[in-house]
Amino acid sequence: MTWTSSEPVAIIRTERGLTIAGTRITLYQFMDYLHAGYQPQKIREDFPQITNEQFAAAMFYIQANHAEVEAEYQTIIKEDKETQKYWEERNRERFAQIATTPPKPGQEAIRAKLAAWKSQIESRESECSF
């Protein structure tokens, strides 16, 4: 789909990266949706706090500067994965300690519900896996 914007492109570079002017919404948030295969109409529905003009400007900017935006997006994805790995490794011992801690008396029923809920989520995630 081709996007056009009738007003000046309202995309600025902030410490967060390419951002819609006057908001905290980055173009990388839209890239998450685009990479997941969402249609622009669905993306628009998930950002009711911006105007149609701001959305059109963002989509136009992404389309017009796709190589630049994609390269920055991939850098951010890589940095996020590295950060997540760092914190998982740093907290691995603590997570293991928490996992071996016996439940407090009287919490058996709520822990059983939590375990069932986690199992249900994991089965849904495995069904939706790409």
How far apart, in whole angstroms, are the C-alpha atoms of residue 4 and residue 57? 7
To the nearest 10 degrees (0 to 180), the angle between helices 66-100 and 52-64 is 100
Domain 1-130 falls in which CATH fold? Arc Repressor Mutant, subunit A (1.10.10)
Element (H, E) at 112: helix 108-128
pLDDT of residue 128 exceeding 80:
no
How many CB atoms sit inside 10 A of residue 23's CB? 15
Predicted local confidence at residue 99, as pLDDT: 85
For 46-79, what is each residue's pLDDT tens digit?
Answer: 999 999 999 999 999 999 999 999 999 999 999 9
How far apart, in whole angstroms, are the C-alpha atoms of residue 125 and residue 130? 10
Helix (H, G, I), strand (E, B) or coil at 125: helix
pLDDT of residue 100 exceeding 70:
yes
Predicted local confidence at residue 117, as pLDDT: 94
pLDDT band at 126 (very low <50, low <70, confident <90, very high): confident
pLDDT band at 4 (very low <50, low <70, confident <90, very high): low
User: Under 8 Å CB-to-CB from 53, ≥6 apart: which residues?
Assistant: 5, 6, 7, 10
How far apart, in whole angstroms, are the C-alpha atoms of residue 100 and residue 119? 19
Domain ranges across the chain? 1-130
